[in-house]
Amino acid sequence: MPFPQAVPLKYTIDRENCLHFKTGKCLLCVKECTNKAIDHKMEDEVLDLKVGTIIVATGFQTYVPMKKGVYKYWEYENVITALELERLLNASGPTGGHLIRPSDQKTPRRVAFIQCVGSRNKKIDRNYCSRVCCMYAIKNAQIIKEHEPDTEITVYYNDIRAFGKGFEELYHRVREEFGVEFFRGRPAKLSENRETKSIMIRAEETLLNKITEREFDLIVLSVGLLPSEGSKRIGKTLGLSLSSDGFFAEAHPKLRPVDTATDGVFLAGCAQSPKDIPDSVAQAKAAASSAAAIMFSGKVKIEPLTVEVDESLCVGCGLCVEQCPYGAPELIQNEEGRTRARIIEALCHGCGTCAASCPQNAITAKQFTDEQICSELVAALSPSSQARTNGKKAEEGV
Amino acid sequence: MGEVERTFISGLKEELVEEKVIDESQLDPDFAKEIKKYGGKDVMTFLQCGNCTGVCPISLKIDYKTRSIIKYCQFGLKKYTLGTRWVCATCYRCYEHCPADINPAEVMIALRHIAVREGVIPPFIKVAATNLVRYGQSVKPDEEINKIRKELGLGDIHTFNPDFKKVLREISVLVHASKYDKLIGIEDEVKV
């Protein structure tokens, strides 16, 4: 089993250390397993599946601190990321849940958390809040305090964002019951004591308006969340767009947070934006039910507003095929053997991109033909309508 | 100030340096725009994280808090921003570290522009400007400097050299044309 909380909770074979893969012998496990569940001959295979809907839940990766950054993650031994601390505090982790610091394996007495590492930073183009770092830092602070009540813990924060159910209460608890200190200010400089390997943090306490220098045994960087590495590739394959932060863009940020611009493709979890476990579960259930609703009805309703191609004008240049965000136009050979564009109406959303780009004006959008739009414009710009608008503006006092 | 208040404050031995209550009349809502006009970035995007103060080499020696100055700018408290902005060495270290990607050093330069236009000019600026017009450089050339120059193998600075006079004349014309002399208050020095 990879680790106790693995999903799915199944045993796997460690190929690197298995005697069978090393020497070609052993196979004791196969003899012992009463369910005959072990097969050493299984190989990775690529399957082609025909599916009705797709849920994209590719997750996230954590930010890796910069090589030459301020926080010296690569230079000082006692600067670790929150994910590494999580392993140290884990009961089944390498230390059995006992907190030690990397340089001398002693229990640290003074621990500092640094928030907003790799998030809320315009310099590195990460202008979003990762949403989970405040709460996992507070949770880890509580766990450390429960294990070692003598530890002094300081959290260097900008803003504490305890927004979820019960989060604010936890924040108050670690302050009041556990005595965790919260320090408002972003650390400016970290310097290591060569002998003790302790680290001095210089930062401005912005609420006191004073510059402080304090020494800590262990520094934990609360790293932010990044979009997972293959986001761009999957986005290209499925026709999904990425928002400015690099996560997948939803169809509407408020009203359709699970849907995407491509019909039948849904988003769940951190693939869409950084979020915590309850939010991820909620979105996953929403995505699953949205997908099921389409699959079980057996029919898909589409908008009647599509475009049509005038075959006598079309020269088959293929510009519409390139431009369409939904992949609706295709090039076919007509009876006379000439290449012409055809619109697959089930895919078309009637956005009009192809109609606007067509050099031959062969494509028209239904309900939005050139004549209709021109007459609308003429009516809107006519003197009588202008007089009306001006009159209205005058009434409103604009 | 009433008798009771005075007794109370003297009892606390606290100096009344700044006004204790800031009312609306002191706020200048267009101050951020004015800073933008003089080359600073939008101070409203400032996060108040305190990184700029922490990295500032001057703030370790002098009571000079970059973050709080920008907070005054955000509020539009012009009065508090016109005093000590001249200590900023514009080393741009704050800009290197700023997560909000605004440039505190350039805001300080903009604040200097505003301060000069408001008439808040520290004496050393006048001295430097006078030196510029008289000697063509902001530091007055004297025996000491010429001695150091000699040691380094450089020639003396001749203000009486005719070529130099021509340069000085050009500087004077520039200073006069840009009305810099009027702004700083050194009209008597510039003879055009």
pLDDT tens-digit series, residues A325-383: 788 888 888 888 888 888 888 888 888 888 888 888 888 888 888 888 889 999 888 88
Q: Is A305 helix (H, G, I), strand (E, B) or coil?
A: coil
Edge-first strand listing for the sheet containing A218-223? A79-81, A218-223, A110-117, A152-157, A181-184
Q: Which of A167-171, A391-395, B81-85 has the highest mean pLDDT?
A: A167-171
- B173 interfaces chain A, CB cutoff of 8 Å: no
Domain encompassing residue B158: 123-184
Structural contact between residues A262 and A268, judged by C-beta atoms closer than 8 angstroms: no
Q: Return the closest-CA partner of residue A199 out of A117, A133, A134, A110.
A: A110
Shortest Cα–Cα distance, A184 to chain B (Å): 7
Does B112 lie in the same domain as B130? no
B1 assigned to some structural domain:
no
B101 assigned to some structural domain:
yes
Q: Is A117 helix (H, G, I), strand (E, B) or coil?
A: strand
Cα–Cα distance for residue pair A135/A224, rounded to 1 Å: 12
What stretches of B68-163 adopt beta strand conformation (E)? none
Beta bridge partners of A157: A184
Q: Which of B54, B60, B99 sits opposite A203 (nearest CB)?
A: B54
Cα–Cα distance for residue pair B125/A52, rounded to 1 Å: 75
Token pair in block for residue A270 = 């951190």
B118, B134, B169: which is the final residue of a domain? B118
Predicted pLDDT at B6: 58
Confidence check on the interface: ipTM exceeds 0.90, yes or no: no
A21 phi and psi, to 5 degrees?
A: -75, -20
B118, B137, B170: which is the final residue of a domain? B118
Does B32 lie in the same domain as B86? yes
Does B71 lie in the same domain as B91? yes
B95 assigned to some structural domain:
yes
- A206 interfaces chain B, CB cutoff of 8 Å: yes
Q: Name the residue of chain A whose CA is nearest to B95's CA.
A: A123
Structural contact between residues A79 and A71, judged by C-beta atoms closer than 8 angstroms: yes
B174 assigned to some structural domain:
yes
Structural contact between residues B40 and B106, judged by C-beta atoms closer than 8 angstroms: yes
Does B111 lie in the same domain as B62? yes
Q: What is the pLDDT of residues A256-265, one digit of tens each?
A: 999 998 888 9
Contacts of A115 (CB under 8 A, 6+ apart): A133, A134, A137, A155, A156, A157, A158, A222
Q: Which of B48, B51, B100 sits opposite A122 (nearest CB)?
A: B100
Predicted pLDDT at B18: 56
Q: Which of A70, A122, A211 sits opposite B53 (nearest CB)?
A: A211
Q: Would you say the C-alpha torsion A259, A283, A292, A6 has a positive or negative sign?
A: positive
Predicted pLDDT at A86: 92
Q: Return the closest-CA partner of residue B34 out of B122, B107, B121, B143.
A: B107
Beta bridge partners of A332: A340
Give the least confident one: A225-239, B93-107, B119-133: B119-133
CATH of region A307-367: 3.30.70.20
User: What's the pTM value of the predicted model, to 2 decimals?
Assistant: 0.79
- B113 interfaces chain A, CB cutoff of 8 Å: no
Predicted pLDDT at B14: 46
Q: Is A62 helix (H, G, I), strand (E, B) or coil?
A: strand
Cα–Cα distance for residue pair A224/A270, rounded to 1 Å: 12
Beta bridge partners of A307: A365
Structural contact between residues B52 and B64, judged by C-beta atoms closer than 8 angstroms: no
How much is the average pLDDT of B56-80? 86
Residue type at position A26: C
Return the percentage of chain B with pLDDT > 70, whole number.
85
Does B52 lie in the same domain as B105? yes
**pLDDT band of B8, cuts 50, 70, 90:** low
- CB atoms A186 and B99 under 8 Å: yes
- Cα A27 to chain centroid distance, Å, stands at 42
What is the CATH superfamily name and number for domain A64-223? FAD/NAD(P)-binding domain (3.50.50.60)
Shortest Cα–Cα distance, A121 to chain B (Å): 4
Does B85 lie in the same domain as B149? no
Q: Which of A186, A202, A209 sits opposite B49 (nearest CB)?
A: A186
Return the percentage of chain A with pLDDT > 90, whole number.
51
- B58 interfaces chain A, CB cutoff of 8 Å: no
Does B33 lie in the same domain as B82? yes
The residues spanned by each domain of chain A are 1-45, 64-223, 307-367, 370-398
Greater pLDDT, B64 or A200? A200
**pLDDT band of A74, cuts 50, 70, 90:** very high
Residues of A within 8 A of B51 (CB-CB) are 185-188, 204
Cα–Cα distance for residue pair A80/A102, rounded to 1 Å: 9
Chains A and B: how many Cβ contacts under 8 Å?
A: 58
B9 assigned to some structural domain:
no
Does B41 lie in the same domain as B84? yes
Residues of B within 8 A of A70 (CB-CB) are 97
Q: Name the residue of chain B whose CA is nearest to A201's CA.
A: B54
**pLDDT band of A53, cuts 50, 70, 90:** very high
Count of structural domains within chain B: 2
Q: What is the mean pLDDT of chain A?
A: 89
Q: Return the closest-CA partner of residue A192 out of A112, A76, A71, A104.
A: A76
Residue A392 has pLDDT above 90, yes or no: no
B118, B151, B170: which is the final residue of a domain? B118
Give the least confident one: A235-249, B7-21, B83-97: B7-21
Does B131 lie in the same domain as B114? no
Cα–Cα distance for residue pair A93/A98, rounded to 1 Å: 9
Does B175 lie in the same domain as B102? no
- CB atoms A120 and B99 under 8 Å: yes
Does B30 lie in the same domain as B112? yes
Residues of A within 8 A of B104 (CB-CB) are none
B154 assigned to some structural domain:
yes
Token pair in block for residue A323 = 């431009």
